Amino acid sequence: MPELPEVQTVVNGLTKKISGKVFSDAKISVKKMVSTNLKKDIKNKKVKRVIRRAKMIVIELTQDKYLVVHLKMTGQLIFVDIKGKAFGGGHPIESKEIEFTKPNKYTHVILNFKDGSRLLYNDVRKFGWLKLMSKEEYNILSNRHGIEPLAKEFTLSRFKEILKKRPNSKIKQFLLNQELIVGLGNIYVDESLFKAKIKPFRRVYTLKGNETDRLYKAIKLKLFTAIKFGGTSVNTFVSISGERGKFVNKLKVYGRGGMKCLRCKNELTKIKMGGRGTVYCTKCQK
DNA sequence: GTACTTGTTGAACG
DNA sequence: TCGTTCAACAAGTA
């Protein structure tokens, strides 16, 4: 369930590892997860840099090509160096998980570099994808997505403008809509709304100025802090208790339905909103 | 067998 | 046509 901070963590790790490397070939065992041109076109392309756009990993290649990877719920992109040491999600994988330096039953794509190192794409549920696209295709994809909440253009007044576009939306669904603001998923929406003391089903137009202000600050704070802690790896990667992103210890409401509110001791309520599990405090979120 | 998990998309509605 | 909600889908776990 990688959201913005998790994807950023992967990107931060990857960029150090693979910038300047040249792809040699690709081994694809699950064809539907990759674009048909990938196997042929990845050869001899060099990695210029790795960036994040929304929840996608974007590997910029020479000749104006873009390798775009979406991890969806359970995808992992693991870099394995020439010595066989693996790095995933920005965290070195400890020796007890040495088997993940080798392809396993969840490894569906292997991208080899000319120097013998490689990238493994693992995905338990096969929801993710890897697409090799042109600059035009990438721009179209990027333009379908909204503003980056950590970019300096995302100011409070900009946030208010975007809120005005969907006055009747429930605030949770507004925040999950990637066409408006990108990167927030179920975890960080629930956490931000708790921090801002706003109930998830409040309509956007009912938010007071000070609430909007609190929410704006909460979103930025939660995302920044989560990146600092290496994301929230609720590690669904088989049953191995891997290197968990340390933000998991900072969660205030996500996954805590029925437990006590850490702010007011009230029992946290869990409901469904738009098919998503949603946890909030009926007492201190207004 | 069934409920549950999330990001995304497309259908259906008013 | 638009905003909004809902269902479906991917595939596996508990």
Cβ within 7 Å of nucleic strand B, residues: A 1, 3, 54-56, 70, 72-73, 125, 127, 144, 176, 178, 185-187, 272, 275-277
User: Is the model's pLDDT at A114 over the cut of 50?
Assistant: yes
Taking the alpha carbons at both ends of chain A, their separation in whole angstroms is 28
Tens digit of pLDDT for each residue in A164-213?
888 888 899 999 999 899 999 888 899 999 999 999 999 999 999 999 99
Tens digit of pLDDT for each residue in A200-214?
999 999 999 999 999
| Domain limits, chain A | 4-143, 156-280
Q: How far apart are CA A246 and CA A255, in angstroms?
A: 15
Strand C atom within 7 Å of A166 CB = yes
CATH code: domain A4-143 is 3.20.190.10
CA dihedral angle for residue A186, residue A189, residue A191, residue A195, rounded to 10 degrees: -170
Alpha helices in A33-155 (DSSP H): 38-41, 135-143
User: Is the model's pLDDT at A90 over the cut of 50?
Assistant: no
Q: How far apart are CA A43 and CA A66, in angstroms?
A: 13
Strand C atom within 7 Å of A126 CB = yes
CA dihedral angle for residue A218, residue A141, residue A60, residue A175, rounded to 10 degrees: 10
Mean pLDDT on A4-10: 85
Q: How far apart are CA A286 and CA A280, in angstroms?
A: 10
Mean pLDDT on A37-54: 93
Kindly indicate the confidence band of residue A7, based on its pLDDT and cuts at 50, 70 and 90.
confident
Mean pLDDT on A56-66: 94
Q: What percent of chain A has pLDDT over 90?
A: 44
Cα A123 → chain centroid: 14
CATH class of A156-280: mainly alpha
**Strand A107-113 relative to strand A276-280, pairing:** unpaired
